[in-house]
Structure 1
Amino acid sequence: MAKCAYFLSRKTSLEFCQPRCSRLNVIRNFVNDRPAIILGIETSCDDTGCGIVDTTGKILGEAINSQYLTHLEHGGIIPSIAGKMHRQHITTVCENALKSANLRLRYIDAIAATTKPGLPLSLDVGNKFGKYLSRIGNKPYIPIHHMEAHALTVRMVQKVDFPYLVLLVSGGHSLLAIVENVDKFYTLGTTLDNAPGEILDKIARRLKLATIPEFSHMSGGQAIESAASKASDPTKFFFEPVLTTKRNCQFSFAGIWNKSFKYLDKEENFGVADSVAIPDVYNFCAAIQLVFTRHICLRTQRAMEFINNMNLIPQEQRTLVISGGVACNNFLAKSLEIVCSERGFKFVRTPPRLCNDNGVMIAWNGAEKWMANINVLQDRAEIEMVSIEKNASFGESWIERVQDADIKCKLVKLNRI
C-alpha cells in the first residue's frame, strides 16, 4: 500500500512514527480530559469513505469518493472495478478527511475500519489501509461490523438508550434486530432473498428512469421515490402483499421484482426503444413503493408486537431506529412513524446523510467500542491477523423465536400519508 503523502509530508508529522504505548495514550486522555479521536474507514461496497469523530459524537472531519456514476454505466456494481477504485482513492480520501479536521495522524487515538460484511475486493482495501495506518502510527486497531455501525450511528447525534429496535434497509441488507448494547444484538428477521435497495435499483433500470433528465443523477431508489410522488393513480398497478401468511419478521423482495418485470413484459404499450422510459412510469413507481412499504411496515409491526408481548424493552423507552440507504425514503419513514404511533414506539430516523455508507459511522462505532473497551486491538500480531468476511451474522438469531411466537398481525392503516 502506497504511503500517504499528507501523513509524511513534514518533519513534524513523523513524530507519530515513534513507538508509544497505547495504554499511556489512554492515561493521557484521562488526565487531560480530552475526548478520544477515532478515524474510521469504510470500503464495504462502492463508496470510499473516511470519517473522524471524537467520543462526544462531534464530527471533526470527513471525506468520501462515490463510485455511483461509474457503476451506473455498467448497469450495476462490478466488484473488480469497485476494488480498483478503492485502491486509487483511499489515500486521497483519508488525506482529505484529516485536512478537513485540521489534524495529523499523530493526534488520532485509534483506527477503525470495516472488515465485514461486504464485497471482498472492497473490504480488503480498507482493512489493509487501516492496518497500515495503525502500524505506522502505532495506533490501536478496531475492526468494525458494517451493519452494527449502521445500527449505532443514531446514538452519535441523538440520545437513544439501550435496548431499542432497529430496522436496517439498504442496497445490501434488510433486517430487524434488538440492540442490547454496543456489541450485543438479537436478529428478529432478515432477508430471504434480495435486499430492497438492490431490487429498487434493478426495477429503476428496467423502467429506464435514467433516461428522464430529472432522475438521471439519482440512485434507483431515489428515482422511484421521486417518480412515485408524481403519480395520479397509485392503485393502477396491483401487487399482491408479500408473505402475509408467514407469521415471522423475515423479508422477501424478489417476488416484487419478478412481478414488476412480468408487468413490463406483458403490457403492449411498454414495447418501446431501450433508450426511452416506459409510459405511465409514475403510477408504476407509486405501486412499487407502496408494496415495498407495506411489506416492511408489516414485518416491523410484528417485531414490535413480539417485543411488547415478551416485555423485552421497558414500555417507556420503546424506540424504533431506522437506518441504511433505503431509510432515506420519506414515504417509508412516514409510514413507519404511523406504525410507531399506533404501537407505542418512539420513531427515530438516522439523519439521511448518515444513512448511506460513510466513514463517520465507522468512526463512531469505533468510538463506542473504545469507550466500552470492546475489541480495541493493541497487539501488533493480533492486528495483522484481522481478516475480512464477505458474509457475517448480525448478533444472535432470534428468528425461530419470533416464528414460534406465532404472532397474528394486521397492518396498521397507512391512510394518513
Structure 2
Amino acid sequence: MLILAIESSCDEFSVSVMENGIIKSNIISSQIKDHIIHGGVVPELASRLHTKNFPFVLIDAINESGIKIEDVDYIAYTNNPGLIGSLIIGRLVANTIGYYYKIPTIPLNHMEGHIYSANIEEKFTYPVLSLVVSGGHTQIQFIKKPLKFDIIGSTIDDAIGECFDKVARVLGLPYPGGPEIDKRAKLGRDDAYIFPKMKIIDKFNYSFSGLKTASINLIRKAMSNNSLEINDFCASFQKSAIDYLLEGFENAINYFKPKTISLAGGVSANNFLRNRIFSIGTKYNIFKILVPNLKYCTDNAAMIAELCNEYIKKEFKT
C-alpha cells in the first residue's frame, strides 16, 4: 500500500511517501529564513511561499521514494488545525492530484499526526499518555486505544513554545527562540535566577502567561543594571518551564496509569525535556518511553502518513 502525505499547516511544506508502513521519503521545505526577519511566522507570506515551493517538494519526495504517482493508493493531508491559507494550499494540492489520478484523499488532524510521530520507528503499547508541546499547543492527551484521543489537559493561555519564543525575543535571540534557549542553557546554571512557583490548574491544565511576564520583568531589570547573564538565565528559565510542564504530566501519569509515555510536537526536540521524560519513565516504572526522531519533531508529512496508515488499518479491521 502506498500513501502520499502532505503537511502544510504553518511555514513548512512537506511531502512524504510511505510504502507498506515504511517511510520511503520525507521532504520538508522550511521557511525559517524568510520569516526570521519578522520575528515570527507571517501567515500570508507562508501561504505564498507554499504556492511557490510545493512542486519542487512533491517532485523530490516522489523521486526519492522511487514510486510512480499513479500507483499511490491514498493521499493524506493536514486539514486542521493550522494557518488557514497554508492549510488551503495543502488541501488544493492533495485534492487536485487525487482528482486527476482518481486517488481517494483523507483529511487528517495535525495534532494527532504529531502524536503518531513517536509511533513511526517504535510502536505504542496502549494506553498511551502523550505530552504534546509546540509553538501553538500544550496538551496532555490520553490514547486509551489506537486513534482514541482524549485531551485531558492543556494551556489556558500561552503554549510553552510560544512562551520560549517571546522570552527569547526579549533576550535578543533569533527566531525560533526555543532551540536558541536550549543551546544556551547547556552553558549556564539553572539555579541562577528564581521564578515564581506556578500552579497546575485542575490537576492537568497549565498557564504560562505568568512565567512569561515574570521572565520579561527579570530580563529588563537585569539589563537596566548590566547584570544579565544570558546563559544562566536561559538555563534557569528552561528548567522552571519544564519542571512546571512535567508536574502536570506526572499528575496525569498517576491518574491514568499508562503503559507508554511519549512526547510530540516541535518542543519535543528540546534536549532537557527529552532527558527528563526518560527519568520520569524510570520513576514510575514505565518501560516504553517514546520520543520522536528529531527529524519527525517539527511539522513533517511522515507523521501524517503514519496517522493515515493507522486509520486505514483500523478501517480494514472493522
- Sort the Cα spacing of 1:270 and 1:353 in 2 relative to 1 into closer, same or farther, 3 A: farther
152, 174, 193: which is aligned to 2:138?
174
- Sort the Cα spacing of 1:64 and 1:270 in 2 relative to 1 into closer, same or farther, 3 A: farther
Taking the aligned partners of 2:61 and 2:15, their CA distance within structure 1 comes to 6
Are positions 1:193 and 2:142 aligned together?
no
Tell me the equivalent position of 1:327.
268
Taking the aligned partners of 1:348 and 1:182, their CA distance within structure 2 comes to 15
Tell me the equivalent position of 2:12.
47
The amino acid of 1:259's aligned partner reads A
Taking the aligned partners of 2:198 and 2:101, their CA distance within structure 1 comes to 51
Taking the aligned partners of 1:323 and 1:270, their CA distance within structure 2 comes to 39
Offset of residue 250 of structure 1: 0.7
Offset of residue 321 of structure 1: 0.9
88, 98, 113: which is aligned to 2:52?
88
Tell me the equivalent position of 1:261.
216
Offset of residue 269 of structure 1: 4.1
Q: Which portions of structure 1, spanning 4 or more consecutive aligned residues, are displaced by more than 6 angstroms?
A: none
- Sort the Cα spacing of 1:270 and 1:348 in 2 relative to 1 into closer, same or farther, 3 A: farther
- Sort the Cα spacing of 1:268 and 1:65 in 2 relative to 1 into closer, same or farther, 3 A: closer
- 2:219/2:228 contact within 8 Å kept: no
Are positions 1:38 and 2:3 aligned together?
yes
The amino acid of 1:322's aligned partner reads L
Taking the aligned partners of 2:112 and 2:157, their CA distance within structure 1 comes to 21
Offset of residue 54 of structure 1: 2.1
Taking the aligned partners of 2:147 and 2:71, their CA distance within structure 1 comes to 26
175, 178, 187: which is aligned to 1:230?
187
Taking the aligned partners of 1:101 and 1:224, their CA distance within structure 2 comes to 36
Taking the aligned partners of 1:336 and 1:155, their CA distance within structure 2 comes to 16
- Sort the Cα spacing of 1:136 and 1:66 in 2 relative to 1 into closer, same or farther, 3 A: same
The amino acid of 2:47's aligned partner reads G
Give the greater-gyration-radius structure (CA).
Answer: 1
301, 305, 312: which is aligned to 1:363?
305
The correspondence of residues 6-405 of structure 1 with structure 2, limited to 5 A, is 36-56=1-21, 58-210=22-174, 219-231=176-188, 233-244=189-200, 246-269=201-224, 279-308=228-257, 313=258, 318-346=259-287, 347-373=289-315
Secondary structure, counterpart of 1:156 in structure 2: coil
Secondary structure, counterpart of 1:199 in structure 2: helix
Secondary structure, counterpart of 2:129 in structure 1: strand
Taking the aligned partners of 1:239 and 1:270, their CA distance within structure 2 comes to 19
CA offset digits 1:86-127 (Å, max 9, x no partner): 111112111110011122211211100000001111111101
- 1:241/1:294 contact within 8 Å kept: no
The amino acid of 1:344's aligned partner reads N
Tell me the equivalent position of 1:402.
none
The amino acid of 2:195's aligned partner reads F
Taking the aligned partners of 2:217 and 2:119, their CA distance within structure 1 comes to 42
Taking the aligned partners of 1:54 and 1:180, their CA distance within structure 2 comes to 27
- Sort the Cα spacing of 1:263 and 1:144 in 2 relative to 1 into closer, same or farther, 3 A: same
Offset of residue 143 of structure 1: 0.6
Taking the aligned partners of 2:266 and 2:121, their CA distance within structure 1 comes to 18
Gaps spanning 5+ residues in structure 1: where? 1-35, 211-217, 272-277, 375-417
- Sort the Cα spacing of 1:240 and 1:60 in 2 relative to 1 into closer, same or farther, 3 A: same
- 2:204/2:248 contact within 8 Å kept: yes
Offset of residue 159 of structure 1: 2.4
The amino acid of 1:289's aligned partner reads Q
- 1:55/1:371 contact within 8 Å kept: no
Taking the aligned partners of 1:38 and 1:162, their CA distance within structure 2 comes to 25
- 1:62/1:98 contact within 8 Å kept: no
- 1:249/1:302 contact within 8 Å kept: yes
The amino acid of 1:251's aligned partner reads Y
CA offset digits 1:191-213 (Å, max 9, x no partner): 11111112211211211123xxx
CA offset digits 1:115-166 (Å, max 9, x no partner): 0001111111101111111101100111110011111122221022232111
The amino acid of 2:220's aligned partner reads D
The amino acid of 1:350's aligned partner reads P
Gaps spanning 5+ residues in structure 2: where? none
Q: Aligned-residue CA RMSD in angstroms?
A: 1.7
- 1:54/1:367 contact within 8 Å kept: no
Matched residue pairs, number?
315
Taking the aligned partners of 1:112 and 1:223, their CA distance within structure 2 comes to 33
If the length of structure 2 is used for normalisation, what is the TM-score? 0.94
Offset of residue 270 of structure 1: 6.0
